[in-house]
Structure 1
Amino acid sequence: MEFRVDRGDLVEAVAWAARALPARTPVPVLGGLLLEASAGRLSVSGFDFETAALIETDAEVAADGRVLVLGRRLLDICKVLPDGPVSCALDGSRFTVEGGGTSFGLSTLPREEYPAPPAPPGAYGTVDAARFATAVAQVAVAAGRDDTLPVLTGVQLRLEGDEITLSASDRYRFAVRRLEWKPEASAPSATGTGEAVEALLPARRLLDVARSLARCGTVRVGLDRGPGPGGPLGFEGGRMRSVVRQLDGRLPGYGNLFDMAGASVAEVEREALTEAVRRVAVVAEANSAVRLDFSADSVLLRAGFGDDVAAQRLPAVLSGADEVTVAFDPAYLLDALTSFEAPGLRLELLGTGRRALLAAAHSPETHRHLLMSVKQLV
């Protein structure tokens, strides 16, 4: 095996494939990246049983071959190489990397022990890459971080007709985002011959994949509708491809939670509210809340206790009640506010200790974020 590749292309390929490497693993070969050179192409892939990632780049290939090397070590080497062409070769059990007069040697991992990654699933539809990355980020913020409750660490995708609905919840908040997409003509959801397809994917992995493909223009989504549930989903854009294993289970429904009958409705400028929350939260102690007192034409934000307090009043419009008071964990509230892009925000409020539903003022059905108002008031 011997090839020559531009240093920038090599760094990009190795860094992208290294996203699939586990932080820690008892299986040494899973810390490796598989490099394959043939016919003017270099492919770099990683796999950790949860995600498989593969990227291709142009290379001058003098001798075809495959090699498995420690991925993060190779990435560290690539980052310190000077700009220009990089020559790589496999000599026995030693892999050499040379560029700009600097050379490195790497021991190789046993390729025969490396597990075979899943085959890319069949094409199911396409979605705008940038919009998909934005939508995933908007809901992933509500996913749980507790690995003892794996279902709540996922983002659920519902593919139905020409729309994808993404949702995530950690029990204390629930985010939902709807997004247009184009299903393949043969997909059951497009032909009307099948029910909507649902898949629960690890939020952290899906977010990483979506961000890395954001500049590809279009993401092709792959899914094999086999007899059993839980098949992996594929995401492909340009020369990059990822396959992500589904989590077992599904998120609870949010229909009843999002039913805000009898709620008061407040409208406020999103950026101003976000900055005000950041300011007053400076004095908020751990596990304390930011209080929002809505009146007909303003909202008063308050945080802190005793002499250590902060307050700020903003313009707002309230309908359905003369006054409404709610209080939120400041980190959760900031997560929700910063996930929106619209300048105006609509808040449906049931009062202290009850649900609050945030949405864009002019398109409230596209992106919604549910928060629980805490009972404790400052």
Structure 2
Amino acid sequence: MKFRVDRDAFADAVTWTARALPARPAVPVLAGMRLEVADTASDTLRLSGFDYEVSAQASVDVHAEEAGSVLVPGRLLAEIVRTLPPHPVEFHVEGSRALLTCGNARFTLLTLPLEDYPTLPAMPRTIGSAPADVFATAVRQVLPSTSRDDTLPMLTGVHLTFRGDTILLAATDRYRIAVREMWWKPEEVDIDTSALVPARTLGDFSRSLTGGNVDIALSTSDSRGAGEGMIGFEHDGKRTTTRLIDSDFVSYESRFPTEFAAQADVPVAPLAEAVKRVALVADRSTPVRLSFTSSEVVLEAGSGDDAQALEALEVNFEGEPMRIAFNSQYFLDGLTNVETERAFLRFVAPTRPAVITGTPAKEGGKPDFRYLVMPLRLA
């Protein structure tokens, strides 16, 4: 196996594929990254990583002199390519060693037993495609609301509902719920299915998305997406697959209030900056308090002998004056993911969930992004 490749293109493909490699592999061979040139006529290098749960594949154009395949330590290769000088990379295999040359830099890597490497799963059937940049934004908006607690697998995923020409992305950690609605182009117009996707895998893939479309592939054991299944995404020569989380997702729509006692129309950036400043004096268990009146909101944090902060900001508020408190990071995760310059904060009561949305594209329309957050009790 021997090829020559552009340094930046090679580094991008290697770095992306390495994301799927386990930090502590169950067997040593899973730490490997497979590099394959199927034939010299195609001049295409395919890179693969797999840990029995998540697979990643990337393709890059090369000038191939000899076809072949090899398995090398993936994370080490990723560290090497990130530091290479700006020159073309030459790579070839001699026996049990892989030799990499870039300018005056040379590396020799010991190969891993390719015959022990597992076969990557096939891509499921494509069910549709979505604008890549919109899909990446939607994932970014809901991802902070997923849980890091593996004892409740359901909460560590993003729930995707594919219904007609709409995708609904939802996530919750029990203290907040984020929901994003977006348009896509399904293969079947009457599609109605869902999938619970591991948040980490979805986040890693979405960060690589740029322009164009992302193809979405899905296989489930039933029409609802429950049970064993797999989802795949493909974009710009990169593809990934992951097993679905085998769990039912919460029925979240009923958690959103339909009637509100008060509403604030706030500027997103100034309010977010004010919350960040005030929160500097609060520890993780101390809430940021917001007191709304008809023309302003007063933000406070700290009390008693502790450090204290106070800041006022002009807002448009409708309803009886209200004083409510939030975990500052939970509040910011909702506010900063609103895509419009102004946001609506809707309240039922100081002890009931509040809802943050952006300004709808059309008057009277539904916002694309909704974020429900539980308040903290005031002493």
TM-score range for the pair, normalised by the shorter chain length: over 0.9
Which stretches in structure 2 are left out of the alignment for 5+ residues? none
Q: CA deviation at 1:225?
A: 5.2
Confirm or deny: 8 A CA contact 1:359 1:367 kept in the other structure. Answer: yes
Distance in 1, Cα, partners of 2:83 & 2:343: 46
- 2:294 paired residue number: 296
Matched, 1:316 2:315: yes
For residues 194-236 of structure 1, give each alpha carbon's deviation from its aligned partner in whole angstroms, at most 9, with x where no partner exists.
5x21100111110110111x21411011123555843211111
For residues 144-175 of structure 1, give each alpha carbon's deviation from its aligned partner in whole angstroms, at most 9, with x where no partner exists.
01112111010000000000000000001000
Q: CA deviation at 1:112?
A: 1.7
Write the mapping of 1:116-131 to structure 2, written as runs, cut at 5 A: 116-131=119-134
For residues 100-156 of structure 1, give each alpha carbon's deviation from its aligned partner in whole angstroms, at most 9, with x where no partner exists.
132211111111221112101111111000110000010011000111211101000
Distance in 1, Cα, partners of 2:206 & 2:215: 11
Q: Residue 250 of structure 1 aligns to a residue in which SS?
A: coil
**What is the aligned residue count?**
368
Matched, 1:329 2:327: yes
For residues 325-355 of structure 1, give each alpha carbon's deviation from its aligned partner in whole angstroms, at most 9, with x where no partner exists.
1100111111111111111111111222211
Percent identity between the aligned chains?
42
Deviates more, 1:297-306 or 1:173-182: 297-306
Confirm or deny: 8 A CA contact 2:298 2:311 kept in the other structure. Answer: yes
Write the mapping of 1:1-378 to structure 2, written as runs, cut at 5 A: 1-37=1-37, 38=39, 39-184=42-187, 187=188, 190=189, 192=190, 196-212=192-208, 214-224=209-219, 229-307=227-305, 308-319=307-318, 321-363=319-361, 364-377=366-379
Q: Residue 141 of structure 1 aligns to a residue in which SS?
A: helix
Distance in 1, Cα, partners of 2:105 & 2:178: 50
Distance in 1, Cα, partners of 2:57 & 2:277: 43
Confirm or deny: 8 A CA contact 2:220 2:228 kept in the other structure. Answer: no
Aligned-residue Cα RMSD (Å) equals 1.5
State the AA in 2 paired with 1:211: R
Distance in 1, Cα, partners of 2:263 & 2:47: 52
State the AA in 1 paired with 2:194: E
Distance in 1, Cα, partners of 2:345 & 2:18: 41
Distance in 2, Cα, partners of 1:263 & 1:322: 8
Distance in 1, Cα, partners of 2:44 & 2:81: 18
Q: CA deviation at 1:276?
A: 0.7
Q: Residue 23 of structure 1 aligns to a residue in which SS?
A: coil
State the AA in 1 paired with 2:150: D
Confirm or deny: 8 A CA contact 1:354 1:374 kept in the other structure. Answer: no
Confirm or deny: 8 A CA contact 2:171 2:179 kept in the other structure. Answer: yes
